[in-house]
Amino acid sequence: MKQCMDSANLHRRLRKIGGQIEAIERMIDQDIPCEDILSQINAVKSAVHKVGQIVLEGHIQHCVRDGIEHGDAQRTIESFTKAVERFSNF
């Protein structure tokens, strides 16, 4: 599965998300207004969603394409359906 993902990009994004979460923890300790904290939580949520989009796109571009071209198309479609279902539960 590693070949279908831009792991350097994903790791960079995840490190940034980790920093954003740490910043939220500091905001809570510093008694920052709730609206500002919620804004940062929303930013983290959007960033995590984008990571999911990148993983799903890589899955489509590599795993699904390869499965349809060189493998079992039905099994590939079932796998793709499961991936989309999991991503849509975000």
CATH number at residue 80: 1.20.58.1000
* Per-residue pLDDT tens digits for 71-82: 888 999 998 999
Confidence of residue 19 (pLDDT cuts 50, 70, 90): very high
pTM: predicted TM-score of the whole model, two decimal places: 0.82
pLDDT tops 70 at residue 2? no
Confidence of residue 37 (pLDDT cuts 50, 70, 90): very high
Domain enclosing residue 72, as ranges: 2-88
Going by C-alpha positions, the residue among 52, 66, 59, 70 that lies closest to residue 10 is 52
Q: What is the pLDDT of residue 72?
A: 87
Section 18-22 average pLDDT: 98
**Tokens matching residue 76:** 């590939």
Would you say 80 and 64 are in contact if contact means Cβ atoms under 8 Å apart? yes
- What is d(CA 67, CA 4) in angstroms, rounded to the nearest whole number? 12
Number of separate domains in the chain? 1
